[in-house]
Amino acid sequence: MELVPNNSLICATPEEGRQLAVHLAMQTAFAIQPDGQVEHIIRDAYANNPDSIISASQVVATEFATVAAANNYWR
């Protein structure tokens, strides 16, 4: 499993950076819980839980901050 595509956080635009952040967060979740059946059960449990959705958004925000810093905030 490739957790950082092409071993780089460099992106041309903030939009690409945001997409990468979502990808990184998803890959992290898959790395933590590789069993597809268990992941499906867990997804059903958190899909309708606002606290879980907020927590997932926080993970993406953290990943995006990391990507933005690696890209010198696209200056």
The answer, yes or no, to whether residue 9 has pLDDT greater than 90, is yes
The pLDDT tens digits of the residues spanning 24-53 come to 998 888 888 888 788 778 777 778 888 988
Residue closest to 22 by CA, chosen among 51, 63, 66, 55:
63
The answer, yes or no, to whether residue 23 has pLDDT greater than 90, is yes
Say how far apart CA 51 and CA 68 lie, in whole Å: 25
Say how far apart CA 32 and CA 73 lie, in whole Å: 29
The pLDDT tens digits of the residues spanning 53-75 come to 899 899 999 999 999 999 999 98
Comparing 42 with 15, which gets the higher pLDDT?
15
Q: For the whole model, what pTM was predicted?
A: 0.82
1: which residues sit within 8 A by CB, 6+ positions away?
A: 27, 30, 31
Say how far apart CA 57 and CA 25 lie, in whole Å: 9
